[in-house]
A and B are shown apart, each in its own frame.
Chain A
């Protein structure tokens, strides 16, 4: 399973754009990149998923360069409620794939 590396923590202020970059140098050809968000006392919540280039949904954007060795989750105009742990994972390249979570990135949004 590909290992991912992401910052332990990040700080931001309300209204700013936040970019969290994840490195996954050993990503396999068929691996997808998935980001989850987790609030205290809740299960991880699916945010966004992609394979290459750029993916955008109502919550975030995901930028994946051509070599796919990294990816960047972009959260536009964060609010206090975006304070959470964000996990980057690679895999899901078949009908079944367990997920290997790291410690994630703790994002703290301040007023």
Chain B
């Protein structure tokens, strides 16, 4: 079946602008995760959704970052007043979220964000 998809694949914006990044999880997966990956580093956790609610947003770096998942499927990561330091690859992952371990996460291809 279809995997996790993310759009756009690349996004270039100017400092101070607002951006939205979209994630379509695997159909039927109730858990959805956002990660951020800087060059040469492993992915870093940002936020986790179980259904429509953000169950853990402890990884969001500051209040400029916000994510929603209004219908429990597609999620949007929103970044306000972008800064050059926000440049990174933003990865989305989904998992079945059934409560039965292991809850294996499957990743999308990522969105490369460049803030000029």
Interface residues of A (CB under 8 A from B): 30, 32, 34, 36, 41-46, 49, 51, 87, 92-104
- Please determine whether B110 and A43 come into contact, CB atoms closer than 8 angstroms: yes
The interface residues of chain B lying within 8 Å CB-to-CB of A93 are 101-102
Question: Which B residues from 63 to 90 make CB contacts under 8 A with A?
Answer: 89
Chain A nearest Cβ from B59, distance in angstroms: 7
**Interface of A (DSSP majority class):** loop
Interface residues of B (CB under 8 A from A): 4, 31, 33, 35, 40-45, 48, 50, 55-56, 59, 89, 91-93, 97-110, 112
- Please determine whether B105 and A99 come into contact, CB atoms closer than 8 angstroms: yes
Q: In the complex, given contacts A32-B101, A95-B97, A97-B101, what are 20 additional A-B residue pairs having Cβ atoms less than 8 angstroms apart?
A: A34-B102, A41-B89, A41-B109, A42-B110, A43-B109, A43-B110, A44-B107, A45-B107, A46-B104, A46-B106, A46-B107, A95-B99, A95-B100, A96-B103, A98-B45, A98-B48, A98-B56, A99-B105, A101-B35, A103-B40
The interface residues of chain A lying within 8 Å CB-to-CB of B56 are 96, 98
- Please determine whether B102 and A100 come into contact, CB atoms closer than 8 angstroms: no
Inter-chain CB contacts under 8 Å: number? 79
Q: In the bound complex, what is the Cα–Cα distance between A104 and B44 (angstroms)? A: 13
Chain A nearest Cβ from B63, distance in angstroms: 20
Q: In the bound complex, what is the Cα–Cα distance between A75 and B101 (angstroms)? A: 25
Chain B nearest Cβ from A75, distance in angstroms: 19
- Please determine whether B102 and A32 come into contact, CB atoms closer than 8 angstroms: yes
- Please determine whether A96 and B107 come into contact, CB atoms closer than 8 angstroms: no
The interface residues of chain B lying within 8 Å CB-to-CB of A32 are 101-102
Q: In the bound complex, what is the Cα–Cα distance between A30 and B41 (angstroms)? A: 27
Q: List 17 A-B contacts (CB under 8 A).
A: A32-B101, A32-B102, A41-B89, A43-B107, A49-B102, A49-B104, A87-B42, A92-B101, A93-B102, A94-B103, A95-B100, A98-B45, A99-B33, A99-B105, A100-B45, A101-B42, A103-B40
